[in-house]
Amino acid sequence: MAQYIMLRDDNAAMLSHRRGGTFRGPTAGIFGTEETLFPPPAPTIETRDLSPNDLRDASRDPSILSLARSMPTRLIEPEPLDDARDEDAVPAWGITSVGADTSPFDGSGVRVAVLDTGIDADHAAFAGVTLTRADFSGSGHQDANGHGTHCAGTIFGRDVEGTRIGVATGVTDAVIGKVLADDGRGSSEMLFNAMRWVSGQENPARVISMSLGFDFPGFAERLVTENDYPVLLATSVALEGYRMNLRMFDALMSMIRRQADFNGGTLVVAAAGNESRRQISPDFEVSASVPAAAEGVVSVGALGQGDGGLTVAPFSNTNPVVSAPGVGIISARSGGGLRSLNGTSMATPHVAGVTALWWQALAQSGVPLTARAVEARLLATAITSGFAPGTDLMDRGQGLVQAPSAAMS
């Protein structure tokens, strides 16, 4: 038997049989002469040990939308750590690059979520912010790793020691899901449970920021060392598990989009990954990893500063949707103070923060307030000017995200 995750929607069977629901919304429809009111998705995540027979039975259950074998996840580590020297970092250069320093919006009234290694709730950067926390990793709420604290600081951190670190400094309500333990490791059911928790709340977060990946090599290695699988078999099983988890992630994203008809929706922003090595060879480029590469996710590449303009960081994976500053980013250090880090993990919270500004801007403009509308503005206003000559479109995506200005709102 193996451990499997089941994504269940108890309303799915109801819809498949065209039975009426109890919720009214934009998806209400009529079959024949009798009105049928489609209910919103009601996702639940279950984790069970299943035999092959159990797996076949579960696949026939109309309420189960997706099945996936539990697999490890891992932090997208800041890369490379030894190049991120605090003395070389330029304070708030990322905030200036995305235009948050001159935007009339600060994210007030927008709820944001960070799925990472937790948060140092006592850090001065988060004074005055209501933090709703849940630990899915089993290692406690506190962030002993520091990655989640750094990312959260870039999204909504207050000024620390006279230095601005946050893009959306008006955010006062944040949801923190600890989906990775202090060693940066987790499992796919932790992530799926956290996503369901964040998006399914009565007051859902409007943007989810995550910087993690499915650990295919780690899964294959564990099958060899712990289950005595031959390498070829372990690779095959791990690959199938990877595919199943991608399909489940896509199914969960689809449910989140369906919920937008009832609550406005949530935009998911994820780091493209740090596996490229352009400093070794210009051709040493790795494509955006999952879950950033999943359908409906805004994947983010990392930018640095060069003599000729903005440059794509040598570690940043290719094919992101957008890009943002990710080199020499100063933000909150777990335990107090500030630190500088490099990575697409540092670029992602810039985009999450700008997304919060767009939610606020559209709320004040009177246009229909949905995740799709926010995403459209985010992508349409990304700029391609200011890049160093020869920057590859596939490396920078739509361009550098920009905060809403008074004229754009």
Angle at 143 between CA 127 and CA 298, to 5 degrees: 85
Residue 147 annotated to the active site: yes
Q: Which of 345, 350, 395, 409 is catalytic?
A: 345
Residue 345 annotated to the active site: yes
Residue 331 annotated to the active site: no
Q: Which of 116, 143, 182, 215 is catalytic?
A: 116
Q: Which of 103, 123, 147, 276 is catalytic?
A: 147
> Which tokens in the block code for residue 388?
């160093």
User: Half-sphere exposure of residue 161, counting CA atoms within 13 Å on the CB side?
Assistant: 11
Active site residues: 116, 147, 345
